[in-house]
Amino acid sequence: MAPDNKISPGNPQNVTDYPNNNTYFLVWNFRQDIDSGQLKSVFQRLCALVINLNNSALDRFPDSRASCVMGIGHDAWLRLELPTPLPAELKNFEPIAGSKHTAVATRGDLHFHIRSDVKSHAYDMASVITDAVKAIAECVVEIQGFRYWDSRSILGFVDGTENPHGAERDYFAVINAQDPAYKGGSYLFVQKYIHDLAQWKALPVAEQEKVIGRSKADDIEMSDDVKPKNSHIALSNVGDDLKVVRDNMPFGNVSTNEMGTYFICYAATFTTVEKMLRNMFIGDPPQNYDRILDFSTAKTGSLFFVPSLDMLDEFSG
**Mind telling me the catalytic residues?**
159
Dist. CA 186–CA 173, nearest whole Å = 6
Helix (H/G/I), strand (E/B), else coil: 121? helix
Which amino acid makes up residue 304? F
Measure Cα distances from 256 to 22, 144, 259 in Å: 21, 16, 8
Sequence-distant (6+) residues with CB within 8 A of 113 are: 23, 24, 25, 67, 68, 69, 70, 71, 188, 247, 264
Cβ contact 173:245 at 8 Å: yes
Assess contact for 174 and 184: CB atoms under 8 A. yes
- Distance CA(145)–CA(247), nearest Å, equals 10
How far are the Cα atoms of 88, 201, 216, 291, 313 from residue 210, in angstroms, in the given order? 38, 14, 10, 9, 48
